[in-house]
Structure 1
Amino acid sequence: MELNPDLYTVAWIAPLEIEAKAALFMLDNRHQGLFTWSPGHDYLFHAGDIVGHNVIIATLPAGQECTTSSAAALASQIKIIFLNIRFGLLVGVASGIPNLSKTPPCDIRLGDVLVALPDGESAGIVAYQLGKETKYGFQLLHGGHMLPRTETIIRSAIGKIKIEAPDDADMFLPFYRSMQDKSHENGIFLDPGQDRDKLYAIYEDGVERAVNRKQRPDSERTRVWYGPLGSGDNLMENGEKRNELRNKYNIIGLETGAAGTMNQIPVGVIRGVCDYGDERKNKEWQPYASAMAAAYAKAVLYEILPRRGITHPIFTSRSDSGISV
């Protein structure tokens, strides 16, 4: 069965396989069928719908790393193939950057959700590797504001969720619970447990020590943090460098892909925290973090109800006379 790309209005970009798997479980319905392939099209897409929106889920080919350029190439082809995309979401995992010295503390934990939003002089997405070296040091291009801003309707939906803080997690946790026991290649999407969440800090004497943090009550297990995210090509595995970027650009997390995507499609960027950007980085928390980010993204779409009374055929086949249902 052939799917008609003209009928899809939302692009959900999930570059990593585990991110795309979580996204698929967030669809209200999966659309069985294929989009016609043409020479020059390098990517294939999943399709479905969420609260009446026809959604394509875009991911990178197996084995390809997510970088600024690979994300830009994927987003560029989405624009070419799906002419009626109205807005997009970039959803997946990121490194969280706690700052316990702030008042109140920015106590980001594994499994929390980071949502990219501007904060004061900091852009929502800070492309911290795009700039130039001068005699005064490295200068970020246009102070990080060279990227398009997220579509207004997405920022409005995020604002509608954010205003419910500190209870904003209640708006998306039901979506997570509906898929937490679903399977992926290496297990399910359950929380690994707060006892496995270890943060290490570098103290003034240069020694790294584990931070003693009290476990959150179950009712407050998940928090959403809103602020600037740093976007670059290199995975961060250095606590000192991570802290330098945090202090310099006022960022709450680090990710790859957003800088490239935003130059093609001004997406809303939603990330689940899977590590702290230090040498202890591993993939244990990626499934849970992917699922939490996907649940928040679904909540965003639930705030944007499509117009009623308009028929949006899902499955189509092409004939000489045009498109038929």
Structure 2
Amino acid sequence: MSDPRVYTVGWICAISTEHVAARAFLDEIHEGPGIFIGRHHVVIAVLPNGEYGTAFAASVARDMLHSFPNLRISLMVVVGGGAPSHSTRCNGGVFQYDFGKTIQDQRFQTTGFLSQPPMALQTARPAPDRDRLYQSRVVHDSDDDCDCADICGNHPSNLVARRRRLEDEDNPAGHYGLIAAANKLMKDASVRDKLAAEKDVLCFEMEAAGLMNHFTCLAIRGICDYSDTRKNKELQGYAAMTAAAYARDLLDRIPPSRVEREKKTSELLPMSDSISAASHAIVSAQEGT
């Protein structure tokens, strides 16, 4: 592994699917935990297998800073649940909310802020008919392995009617807005709609809130479901690749000299956060030209 002090960009994933997507955009993979995306030295970390949420994200972030003290900018690149049918947003960011109190009161209890190709390629993205938005009253009561069509049905009365996208409209698109982060998944569509309307929320997720006091980062989310009882694992891979592609494009637009001028992340945090280390982080540093 090369000198850990040369790494200036951190990239955190929550699940292995996102880690695989991130590695697909590397220019070179070197031996050792420590490896360039474009012209940047980037270190990639993924949460321990089966462990999710704010506490584990914070642990991985602290461990990353302990091992790579010269990180300047960081990205949290994971999948998340969208709040459907919302207009274009002008403001962005991440805020943390108390999940229990929010569900009970059905209004946000905010606790913090984080400022014609081959067929194989054509079928890489799941078919459009797999993207179903159900009415908020329709609840998926069974386990995640059961298909929503079998449990909830595809009757038009259960679905939200939406215009089918034209061919030139079906490319991935970037949306900028507020992300609501808590330590539990949002699964109640009715509460989702009320909360999304309250603060014009774009996305619900779990991990970013854990980084607010330990790690300054940009949250990038690939949307794979609608923050309801149906968690669409079929779309997770596509969403993870979309988020990773955006992150890669973003890094390509930032000169390394600009990154070097930023303050070290460790200098922006309390001393206790800067020096504490956590166990169980899977860290993969990656280098390209």
Distance 1:192 1:4 in 2: 41
Paired residue for 1:255? 205
TM-score normalised to structure 1 length = 0.65
Distance 1:19 1:289 in 2: 9
Find the partner of 2:70 among 78, 84, 105: 84
TM-score normalised to structure 2 length = 0.73
User: Is contact 1:79-1:85 (8 Å) kept?
Assistant: yes
The verdict on how the C-alpha distance between 1:98 and 1:5 changes in structure 2, with shifts beyond 3 A counting, is same
Identity %: 35
Paired residue for 2:191? 241
Paired residue for 2:53? 67
Paired residue for 1:173? none
Distance 1:238 1:92 in 2: 21
Distance 1:279 1:69 in 2: 23
The verdict on how the C-alpha distance between 1:287 and 1:256 changes in structure 2, with shifts beyond 3 A counting, is same
Distance 1:294 1:278 in 2: 24
Paired residue for 1:13? 12
User: Is contact 1:131-1:138 (8 Å) kept?
Assistant: no
1:206-265 deviation line (CA, Å, top 9, x unaligned): x97212222222322122211001101111222112112212222011011001113211
Distance 1:16 1:189 in 2: 23
Residue 98 of structure 1 aligns with an amino acid whose one-letter code is: P
Higher relative contact order by CA 8 Å / sep ≥ 6: 1 or 2?
2
Distance 1:271 1:29 in 2: 24
Paired residue for 2:31? 32
Q: CA deviation at 1:137?
A: 9.3
Residue 201 of structure 1 aligns with an amino acid whose one-letter code is: Q
Residue 45 of structure 2 aligns with an amino acid whose one-letter code is: A
User: Is contact 1:67-1:256 (8 Å) kept?
Assistant: yes
Distance 2:212 2:123 in 1: 28
Q: Is 2:114 the partner of 1:127?
A: no
Structure 1: 5+ residue runs without aligned partners?
35-46, 107-116, 150-176, 182-187, 316-325
SS, match of residue 229 in structure 1: strand
The count of residues paired between Structure 1 and Structure 2 equals 237
Q: CA deviation at 1:139?
A: 7.0
The verdict on how the C-alpha distance between 1:245 and 1:94 changes in structure 2, with shifts beyond 3 A counting, is same
Question: Within 5 A, what are the aligned runs for 1:297-316?
Answer: 297-307=247-257
Paired residue for 1:48? 35
Structure 2: 5+ residue runs without aligned partners?
138-155, 261-284
Paired residue for 2:135? 201
Paired residue for 2:82? 96
Residue 263 of structure 1 aligns with an amino acid whose one-letter code is: N
